[in-house]
């Protein structure tokens, strides 16, 4: 191990020429397991696969290998993308292409490995094979990069994810890692790095789309004796997990990105601000950090360049608003995470009053690649004003789900129809929601919008951190808007009135739309209408007068849903009907007298005793008592309960 470390440092990291010596390349091939003499079994091991049971799969594979005295090597890798195929297992037989198998739960392990080792592969679990040069082909098995899920992606930032053991720095270095950082601190000045990044046109991936190079320059040119770099891995939106996936699958590239960025702004302190509850990501990152220190990637006078760098990790204590820059800084300073008026911007006065640059994970992941391949290479992806790629965390009701990376300029339709492959369970597509809790709903008619900063802005769609929720017709838009509003109201920090009061009022009105009123007299109806009339006004006031982005964008889900799905709102308000049958308060149930056998099951289960009748005679539901919970509907074996 010590020998390998010395070798990697001397022959790879400090090797001046761009192409490595052929002898070195051979060693690296071995580290990368390009040519192995024994089978290698890769098990995807991150939070989403652990939820799907990767823990047990891994144990089963290890015990299979031990029991059968096979000389196979078992390694854990990061996430390859498709979350619905977890636990994902990849087997590499010597000299052959790698084979990917999906949904390998523990009970499938034995038959799978028996099959692969004896060339009798079960097609049901098989996903495909990789097609690398110089490896034997498996006949009749599709290539991974031809599957629609991968074919339409451009995996640049995610190129390492799922390919190597994220806990091994040797593997990262053997894939070309950390060389760029060493080259940068030895041969470039901070100004030059800022220049290169500015020329590449890299824009902050968190929503605003500000030029990263320009932001860095502002911090660099502010006179100060110390500066700070903060990597924002807060991604607080419910249902976004791309940062976590990156941290778990490729922590070393993030460290390299943070290191280069810190060098570019002249900071010797960098902090990762991590979302609470990401225990697995935290453990992986800390381990990677330890290795980086071991290899002197961070520390004092790194490789005699005179540059010092320390990276620390801080776990965010659980507040949505801390994703906002000034609130984040407050929270790091040990105060309540409340935003402040800007300017001054953090680039001139941030953490401890010093110039501070805050970039998110995805932005920083681009940096090592741009420094390695140059700004022109980066401009080769995406559109002119939005170069590069965009990571999307796809969730919801689509057939496929997981973290994907597409070129900027790819249309939303392409993502929905080809990568996500439509809707599961035979339902129909309704909308896509982009941009997290304060994002916008996109209806069918806007699906041809390309994903880039300008085009989305024009349509009033927020890019956000890359949340991409696919919604089908089993969801009610009014209820979803209420869900987001409830979330934001809970997370509003309470500093400014428009946000604190506005979110509360909007939630109240939305709830009055979907709830059954205590009495349907003209008073309550009038109140409901008055509320609805005010929703749009409240929205525009909040948008114009809130202090930070949270309040300004909080009405987005409502406004976009109203724009695209007005008829659903009207049905709820006027007809008191929910077409998706989600809103409990609006459902009324009746019992079909002809089908009811009088089995008493529904009456027994009714939580409010609203069902009456005599045994073996048809039962009936008292509408005034019914709360619309739908338990009777679920338990009836004779389909006698009907939703009205």
Partner 1 sequence: MAADINDIIGKYRQGRREELIPLLQEIQSVFGYISEDAIVRVGSHLGLSTTKIYGLATFYDQFRFFPAGKIHIKLCNGTSCYMNGSKAVADRFREELRIEPGQTTRNGNFSLETVTCMGGCYHGPVIMINGEHHIHVQPEQVPELIKRLKYIIDND
Chain centre distance of CA 97: 29
How near is the Cβ of 137 to partner 1 at its closest, in Å? 31
How near is the Cβ of 447 to partner 1 at its closest, in Å? 19
Residue list 396-415, contact with partner 1 (CB under 8 A): 396-397, 401-402
* 428 belongs to the binding site for partner 1 (CB under 8 A): no
Of 367-375, 472-480, 531-539, 620-628: span binding partner 1 (CB under 8 A): 472-480
For residues 24 and 14, what is the distance between their CA atoms, to the nearest angstrom?
Answer: 13
* 241 belongs to the binding site for partner 1 (CB under 8 A): yes
* 557 belongs to the binding site for partner 1 (CB under 8 A): no
Helix ranges (H only) for 36-168 are 47-51, 54-67, 109-117, 148-151
83, 163, 289, 596: residue in contact with partner 1 (rule CB under 8 A): 83
Specify burial of residue 525 (Cβ count, 10 A radius: 0-12, 13-18, 19+): middle
* 480 belongs to the binding site for partner 1 (CB under 8 A): yes
On the CB side of 350, how many CA atoms lie within 13 Å of its CA? Answer: 28
Nearer to partner 1, 134 or 334 (CB): 334
The gap between the terminal CA atoms of the chain, to the nearest Å, is 71
Specify burial of residue 349 (Cβ count, 10 A radius: 0-12, 13-18, 19+): middle
Of 194-202, 333-341, 374-382, 617-625: span binding partner 1 (CB under 8 A): 333-341
- Answer for the pair 388, 155: CB distance below 8 angstroms, yes or no: no
Q: How many residues bind partner 1 (CB under 8 A)?
A: 47
115, 131, 176, 239: residue in contact with partner 1 (rule CB under 8 A): 239
How near is the Cβ of 510 to partner 1 at its closest, in Å? 15
For residues 485 and 124, what is the distance between their CA atoms, to the nearest angstrom?
Answer: 42
- Answer for the pair 371, 180: CB distance below 8 angstroms, yes or no: yes
Of 79-87, 156-164, 204-212, 533-541: span binding partner 1 (CB under 8 A): 79-87
Of 41-49, 116-124, 170-178, 508-516: span binding partner 1 (CB under 8 A): 41-49
Nearer to partner 1, 390 or 430 (CB): 430
* 315 belongs to the binding site for partner 1 (CB under 8 A): yes
> Given the structure tokens 């390694």, which residue do they identify?
75
Of 124-132, 191-199, 256-264, 465-473: span binding partner 1 (CB under 8 A): 465-473
Nearer to partner 1, 395 or 564 (CB): 395
Nearer to partner 1, 175 or 397 (CB): 397
Site string for partner 1, 490-529 (x = CB under 8 A): ---x------------------------------------
- Report the helix count and the strand count for the chain, using DSSP H and E: 26, 18
Question: Would you tell me how many other CB atoms lie within 10 Å of the CB of residue 491?
Answer: 21
* 333 belongs to the binding site for partner 1 (CB under 8 A): yes
Site string for partner 1, 43-72 (x = CB under 8 A): ---xxx-xxx--------------------
Alpha-carbon radius of gyration of the chain: 28
For residues 418 and 150, what is the distance between their CA atoms, to the nearest angstrom?
Answer: 10
* 601 belongs to the binding site for partner 1 (CB under 8 A): no
* 238 belongs to the binding site for partner 1 (CB under 8 A): yes
* 363 belongs to the binding site for partner 1 (CB under 8 A): no
* 481 belongs to the binding site for partner 1 (CB under 8 A): no
Nearer to partner 1, 244 or 252 (CB): 244
Of 9-17, 87-95, 138-146, 469-477: span binding partner 1 (CB under 8 A): 469-477
* 356 belongs to the binding site for partner 1 (CB under 8 A): no
On the CB side of 40, how many CA atoms lie within 13 Å of its CA? Answer: 22
* 236 belongs to the binding site for partner 1 (CB under 8 A): yes
Chain centre distance of CA 546: 27
* Backbone φ and ψ of 96, nearest 5°: -110, 165
How near is the Cβ of 47 to partner 1 at its closest, in Å? 4
* Omega within 30 of 0 (cis) for the link into 446: no
3-class SS string, 160-219? HCCCCCCCCHHHHHHCCCCHHHHHHHHHCCHHHHHHHHHHHCCECCCCCCCEHHHHHHHH
Give which of 231, 229, 310 is closest to 274, Cα–Cα: 231
* 627 belongs to the binding site for partner 1 (CB under 8 A): no
- Answer for the pair 550, 495: CB distance below 8 angstroms, yes or no: no
Of 339-347, 458-466, 470-478, 526-534: span binding partner 1 (CB under 8 A): 470-478
* 469 belongs to the binding site for partner 1 (CB under 8 A): yes
Of 174-182, 356-364, 480-488, 589-597: span binding partner 1 (CB under 8 A): 480-488
347, 389, 433, 492: residue in contact with partner 1 (rule CB under 8 A): 433
Helix ranges (H only) for 333-476 are 361-373, 375-379, 412-414, 453-458
Nearer to partner 1, 314 or 625 (CB): 314
What is the torsion angle, in degrees rounded to the nearest 10, for the CA atoms of residue 534, residue 430, residue 238 and residue 212?
-90
CA quadruple 478, 484, 487, 492: dihedral sign: negative
How near is the Cβ of 260 to partner 1 at its closest, in Å? 26
Question: Would you tell me how many other CB atoms lie within 10 Å of the CB of residue 299?
Answer: 16
> Can you give the binding site for partner 1, defined by CB under 8 A?
46-48, 50-52, 83-84, 86, 236-241, 244, 276-277, 314-315, 317-319, 331-337, 395-397, 401-402, 433, 467, 469, 471, 474-475, 480, 483, 487, 493, 607, 634
């Amino acid at each position: 191990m010590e020998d390998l470390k010395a070798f990697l440092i001397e022959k790879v990291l400090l090797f001046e020429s761009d192409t490595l010596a052929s002898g070195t390349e051979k060693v690296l091939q071995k580290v990368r397991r390009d040519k192995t003499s024994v089978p290698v079994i890769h098990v995807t091991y991150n939070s989403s696969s652990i939820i799907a049971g990767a823990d047990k799969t891994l144990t089963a594979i290890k015990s299979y290998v031990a029991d059968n005295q096979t000389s196979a090597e078992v390694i854990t890798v990061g996430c390859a993308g498709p979350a619905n195929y977890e636990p994902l297992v990849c087997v590499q037989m010597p000299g052959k292409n790698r084979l990917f198998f999906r949904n390998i739960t523990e009970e499938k392990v034995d038959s799978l490995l028996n099959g692969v080792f004896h060339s009798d592969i079960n097609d049901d679990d098989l996903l495909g094979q990789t097609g690398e040069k110089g490896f034997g082909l498996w006949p009749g098995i599709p290539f991974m990069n031809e599957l629609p899920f991968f074919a339409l992606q451009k995996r640049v930032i995610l190129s390492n994810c799922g390919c190597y053991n994220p806990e091994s720095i040797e593997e990262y270095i053997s894939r070309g890692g950390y060389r760029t950082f060493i080259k940068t601190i030895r041969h470039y000045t901070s100004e030059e790095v800022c220049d290169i990044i500015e020329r590449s046109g890299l824009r902050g991936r968190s929503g605003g789309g500000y030029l990263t190079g320009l932001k860095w320059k502002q911090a660099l040119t502010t006179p100060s004796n110390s500066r700070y770099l903060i990597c924002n891995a807060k991604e607080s939106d419910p249902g976004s997990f791309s940062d976590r996936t990156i941290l778990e699958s490729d922590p070393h590239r993030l460290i390299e990105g943070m290191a280069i960025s810190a060098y570019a702004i002249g900071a010797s302190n960098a902090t990762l601000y991590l979302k609470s509850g990401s225990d697995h990501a935290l453990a992986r990152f800390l381990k990677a950090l330890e290795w980086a220190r071991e290899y002197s990637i961070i520390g004092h006078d790194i490789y005699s360049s005179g540059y010092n760098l320390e990276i620390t990790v801080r776990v965010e204590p659980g507040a949505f608003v801390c994703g906002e820059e000034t609130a984040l800084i407050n929270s790091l300073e040990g105060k309540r995470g409340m935003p402040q008026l800007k300017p001054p911007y953090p680039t001139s006065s941030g953490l401890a009053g010093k110039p501070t640059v805050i970039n998110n994970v995805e932005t920083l992941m681009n940096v090592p690649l741009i420094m390695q391949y140059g700004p022109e290479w980066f401009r080769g992806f995406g559109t002119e004003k939005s170069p590069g790629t965009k990571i999307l965390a796809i969730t919801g009701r689509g057939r496929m789900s997981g973290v994907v990376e597409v070129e900027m300029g790819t249309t939303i339709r392409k993502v929905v129809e080809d990568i996500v492959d439509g809707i599961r369970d035979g339902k129909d597509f309704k909308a896509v929601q982009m941009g997290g809790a304060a994002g916008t709903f996109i209806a069918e008619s806007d699906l041809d919008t390309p994903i880039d900063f300008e085009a989305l802005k024009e349509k009033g769609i927020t890019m956000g951190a890359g949340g991409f929720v696919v919604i089908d017709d089993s969801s009610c838009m009014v209820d979803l808007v209420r869900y987001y509003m409830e979330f934001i109201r809970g997370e509003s920090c309470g500093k400014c009135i428009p946000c604190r009061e506005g979110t509360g009022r909007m939630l109240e009105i939305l709830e009055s739309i979907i709830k059954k009123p205590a009495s349907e007299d003209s008073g309550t109806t009038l109140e409901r209408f008055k509320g609805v009339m005010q929703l749009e006004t409240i929205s525009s006031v909040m948008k114009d007068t809130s202090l930070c982005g949270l309040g300004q964008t909080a009405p987005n889900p409502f406004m976009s849903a109203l724009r695209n799905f007005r008829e659903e709102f009207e049905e709820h308000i006027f007809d008191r009907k929910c077409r998706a049958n989600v809103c409990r308060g609006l459902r009324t149930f009746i019992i079909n007298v002809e089908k009811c056998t009088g089995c008493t099951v529904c009456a027994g289960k009714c939580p409010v005793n609203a069902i009456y009748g005599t045994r073996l005679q048809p039962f009936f539901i008292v509408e005034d008592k019914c709360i619309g919970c739908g338990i009777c509907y679920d338990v009836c074996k004779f389909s006698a309960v009907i939703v009205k």
